[in-house]
Chain A
Amino acid sequence: MHIPDNFLSTPVWATLDVVSLPAFAFISSRVGRDTEEGRIPLLGVLGAFVFAAQMINFPVGIGTSGHLVGGALLACTVGPAAATVVMTAILAIQAFVFQDGGVLALGANVFNMAIAGVLAGYLPYRLLGAGGWRKTGIFLGGFLSVLVSASLALTELLLSGVPMPRPVVTVSLGLFCVSALLEGAITLSVLGAIQRLNPGWVREHKPANRRTMLALGGVAVALAAVGFLIASADPDGLQRLGMQLGMAAKTTFQAPLADYSAPLGASAWVRRAAAGLAGLLAIYGACSLVGRLLTRPRSA
């Protein structure tokens, strides 16, 4: 579910851009440090593979079919951090070249699919992947990655005040569950086939510290469940919250630059635009700084 531009309200897309940019900068600097130069073509080609694999249809029955989304599959083969960067690259190309998903909404889409989706796809595998529950872990990974991404997208649309009657929300949640089940099944069978071809391609990990991982997984699942329940039980409440957030954002955006508006002699819009631009510049500066600090050679 790629959200195009102008579906999310300004506070929502701006906040998610602000959240996603530093997170992505941090993750990609880690990947850049940990990845040997020789693996970069592999990551790029696997990104192209995820794109191309969507052409292969999986029959679901009664004439319909689905396809691989790929977040969990990538996380299980190249690792979660690299999978996040690859998914972000896919989303960026989809937004720019294919007009699939917006540019301002890129932060939201990256957050839903590349960050939260990949993490939700990897955690169950990390938790259960070592023992006899391996298959369950892989299936749950595929299932959760799609469910979490789609529910987040729906929540953001509701927060933005896109009016959605309750039946629509219920039907969408049902559809999300179906496609999530399908993604789980596809991930499981494809990963099994890949492992039969070459066991080394599927990432094996040292047994995790069970207790921390269980706690982490429990928190993640609880968060997802709570979000899911809130969204399904009270979409109107989310919209109200969205409106309140919008108003709060407006007042805080206006406040710092309020005094400068008189000499410009312009409307509130210029003030807000200037504040927004200043905010963007600040984010950009912070990200570059964080990126520089993180990528600094360790010997220095």
Chain B
Amino acid sequence: MHHVTVDRWSRQESMLHARDPRAKLAALLLYLIVLATTPAAPTALLFSLQMFSYLALILAGIGAARLPVGALELRAMVVLPFSATFAIITWFAGDPSRASMLVVKSYLSALAVLLVVATTPMPLLMRGLESLGAPRIFVLLVQFLYRYLFVISEQAQHMRLASSCRMGTSKRNAAERFRAAAGAVSVLFARSHARAEGIQRAMLSRGFQGQFATGAGLHLRPADYVFLLASLLATASIRLAFPAR
């Protein structure tokens, strides 16, 4: 499953992996905002040059993180079905430049987000968010959700497989199959409940104090400031180097 791949990527070591999660989040936000507020360039050539410069910036990041470029680019394509649909509508509505902008920019944004997630383990990312002021209950919840997402999903897949092995749903009419699906979801709900109780008991017996132990605290090192400054300069110069229409 691909999310396992992203999780494995995030635990590798590189220059970019070593940066403070807050610095990476700030750089991501900066990149996204600058990209989102970039107006259309006057000509198609300038537009593609500018977008390629933005792309080059992420590619440089992927290179610095020593991650597989092709695999990341492929993953980010999940936004394309949505943006392509709107791009086609926009194209037919007579605004081809806006259509290409929608596709390119939404793809670049997805790639940038993916780069940050693929270089930051989820617990560190959450720790960064918490030290930026995110509510503790939200941070805890996201971590539980992320941890058990794969477990419960696998359980749902097993249930689906088991049901089709028993041919339980193939020969009935739609109403009966609908009820069967509702039953399956409710059983999944019950199993999630039972699992949550087990988790809670296990955590209490291990002395859970309402906070995950994540090791050392976060420290912004000089390299983090250099990284942030470099991303600021790079994005700003791409933004300013091209004239607006």
Give chain B's interface secondary structure class: helix
Given contacts A40-B137, A44-B142, A52-B188, 17 further A-B contacts (CB under 8 A): A5-B106, A5-B110, A6-B101, A29-B135, A37-B208, A40-B141, A41-B200, A51-B152, A53-B156, A61-B174, A86-B141, A95-B113, A102-B113, A103-B109, A103-B113, A165-B93, A269-B239
Q: Please, what's the 1-or-0 string for B216-241, where 1 marks a CB less than 8 Å from any CB in chain A? A: 00000000000000000000100110
28 examples of A-B residue contacts, CB within 8 angstroms: A4-B109, A7-B86, A13-B36, A29-B135, A45-B192, A45-B196, A48-B149, A51-B149, A51-B152, A52-B155, A55-B160, A56-B184, A58-B178, A61-B174, A68-B185, A98-B3, A98-B78, A100-B78, A102-B113, A104-B109, A157-B86, A162-B89, A190-B182, A190-B186, A193-B186, A269-B37, A276-B33, A291-B135
Interface contacts (Cβ under 8 Å), in number, total 247
Complex contacts, B210 vs chain A, CB 8 Å:
37
Complex contacts, A46 vs chain B, CB 8 Å:
189, 192-193, 196
Does A251 count as interface, using CB distance less than 8 angstroms?
no
> In the complex, A164 Cα to B117 Cα: how many Å?
33
> In the complex, A29 Cα to B3 Cα: how many Å?
30
CB within 8 Å of A: which B17-49 residues: 28-29, 32-37
Complex contacts, A28 vs chain B, CB 8 Å:
135, 137-138
Most chain B beta-carbon contacts within 10 A, residue among A55, A104, A196: A55
Complex contacts, A42 vs chain B, CB 8 Å:
193, 196-197, 200
Does A174 count as interface, using CB distance less than 8 angstroms?
no
Does A229 count as interface, using CB distance less than 8 angstroms?
no
Q: Please, what's the 1-or-0 string for A262-293, where 1 marks a CB less than 8 Å from any CB in chain B? A: 00001101101100100000001001100100
Give chain A's interface secondary structure class: helix
The 9 closest A-B pairs by CB, nearest first: A44-B144, A193-B186, A189-B182, A163-B93, A5-B109, A6-B105, A32-B137, A42-B196, A47-B145
Interface size on B, residues (CB 8 A): 89
> In the complex, A10 Cα to B28 Cα: how many Å?
17
Q: Of all chain A residues, which has the CB nearest B176?
A: A59
Most chain A beta-carbon contacts within 10 A, residue among B105, B109, B132, B160: B109
Does A89 count as interface, using CB distance less than 8 angstroms?
yes
